[in-house]
Amino acid sequence: MRRDAFQAIADPTRREILFLLKNNTLNINSVADKFNISRPAISKHMKILTECGLVIVHQQGRERFCEANPEKLKEVSNWIDKYTNFWNSKLDALEKYLDSRED
């Protein structure tokens, strides 16, 4: 199954994992310790995040270290920007219309 960034950020646990990794490289155990869910559950979340390219996992000896790849969030950001521009133009037009009615 092909996964994308939208699927990954749909889950609050995965969003929290991305937040944890935004400035830090952590091993998987350190990530799992931050949550009150099982390590297998964290592993499933990490698998989805790595399949989407939002997290990169590096093997160092017996440890697996995770780091965020924020470049992959540009797809989401671009999508949001389209709607932001659309609604800003609509709200600006509404403001102009309301201002013209006050005169």
- Taking alpha carbons only, the member of 41, 45, 54 closest to residue 4 is 54
Predicted confidence band at 73 (pLDDT cuts at 50, 70, 90)? Answer: confident
Residue 14 has which token pair? 């995965």
DSSP code string of the chain: ----HHHHHTSHHHHHHHHHHSS--EEHHHHHHTSSS-HHHHHHHHHHHHHTTSEEEEEETTEEEEEE-GGGGHHHHHHHHHHHHHHHHHHHHHHHHHHHHH-
In CATH, what class is 5-102?
A: mainly alpha
pLDDT at 42: 94
pLDDT at 1: 60
> Which pLDDT tens digit goes with each residue over 44-60?
999 999 999 999 999 99
Whether the per-residue pLDDT at 103 is higher than 70: the answer is: no
> Which pLDDT tens digit goes with each residue over 2-52?
678 998 999 999 999 999 999 889 999 999 999 999 999 999 999 999 999
pTM: 0.77
